[in-house]
Structure 1
Amino acid sequence: MSQRRLVFEMMIAERSMRRWIDARSGDSGIGAAGAGVLFHLAGHDNALVGDVSAAMCASPSGMSGLVSRLEKGGLVAKTPDAADARAVRLSLTPAGRAAVEAAKSVVRELNAEMSDGFTDGELAVVARWLGHITHRLT
């Protein structure tokens, strides 16, 4: 198989997944990127904004706007870091925790769509390949 189109195919697939998630976010306005932040905070509450940015592979300016939208939506709360007043920590609000649960349902549905027609063995190879790319290129 020719690998010349892998980059293109991955970019198109990523955009398709984002559009799919965004179309199912309803009137929440959370979308794929916002859901990623909420999922990270669900496992790392009171995280530094910089740590969330790193986990999301996001730029500081992009994360700033996204966090502002999530804060305005009542999904996250920002507090200054006790050790460094210049740093900001993020935590989920009760509405943010509810949004995480709703987003989990959307992601379960997406995972089912994406894996339909593939064996567990095939999916294991895909997961290994994607992990390889992530570790190799960062």
Structure 2
Amino acid sequence: MSGNRLVFEVMNAERSLRRWIDARSGDSGIGAAGAGVLFYLAGHDHALVGDVSAALCASPSGISGLVSRLEKGGFVAKSPDTVDARAVRLSLTPLGREAVATAKEVVKELNTELSDGFTDEELAIVARWLGQITQRLT
């Protein structure tokens, strides 16, 4: 398979994954990108916005708008950092924690769908290949 085709297939797969997740987010407005923020905060409560942005490989302007939408929806709360008043920390609200639980179920369903028809060994190769892409290109 040509390298150009691999790039095309990876980009199409990423768009398909986002559409699949977005379609299952219902009227919450969270979507795939918002779920990434919520998942990160579930493991890193009171994280700096910059840390969330770095973890998700998001631009500062992109993360700012996303966080504002999540805050407006009641999923996250902002607070000033105690050391640096210019920095902002993020925490999940109770509604945000509920959304994480729901998103975990959606991701579990998606993982089942994606792995159907593949052996554990095949999936390990795909996971290693995707991880290598991330390491090489970031």
TM-score range for the pair, normalised by the shorter chain length: over 0.9
Correspondence 1:53 to 2:53: yes
SS in 1 for 2:91: strand
Looking at structure 2, the residues matched to 84 and 8 of structure 1 have their Cα atoms a distance apart, in angstroms, of 43
- Deviations along 1:103-136, one digit per CA (max 9) or x if unpaired, are 0000000011111100000000000001111111
Say what the alpha-carbon RMSD is for the aligned residues: 0.6
TM-score (normalizing by structure 1): 0.98
Correspondence 1:127 to 2:133: no
- 1:86 to partner: Cα distance: 0.5
Looking at structure 2, the residues matched to 132 and 16 of structure 1 have their Cα atoms a distance apart, in angstroms, of 21
SS in 1 for 2:3: coil
Looking at structure 2, the residues matched to 4 and 62 of structure 1 have their Cα atoms a distance apart, in angstroms, of 28
The number of equivalent residue pairs is 138
For structure 1, the 5+ residue unaligned runs are none
TM-score (normalizing by structure 2): 0.98
Runs of 4+ residues over 6 Å off in structure 1: none
For structure 2, the 5+ residue unaligned runs are none
Correspondence 1:99 to 2:99: yes
Percent identity for Structure 1 against Structure 2? 82
